[in-house]
Amino acid sequence: MTSAPAAGQYDAVVLAVAHDQYRSLGPEGARRYGRGNALLYDIKSLYPRDAVDARL
């Protein structure tokens, strides 16, 4: 368990909740948690479609 995710450490970032702190990060801020080629999945359609790799 971690109290906060570390930047640049993950192969994928999954946005599963639409909390304001994720909204304020924006897609580029969310991508900073991933490695250079990490995928960004936006399950809640928080960011524009063209700013993420996939949505459900």
The alpha carbon dihedral of 6, 11, 55, 1 has a sign of: negative
Task: Give residue 28's Cα distance to chain centre.
Answer: 8
The tokens describing 44, both together, are 């809640």
pTM for the full predicted model: 0.86
Distance CA 3, CA 37 (A): 24
What's the CA dihedral at 25, 14, 37, 50 to 10 degrees?
-70
For 1-56, what is each residue's pLDDT tens digit? 677 889 999 999 999 999 999 999 999 999 999 999 999 999 999 999 999 999 98
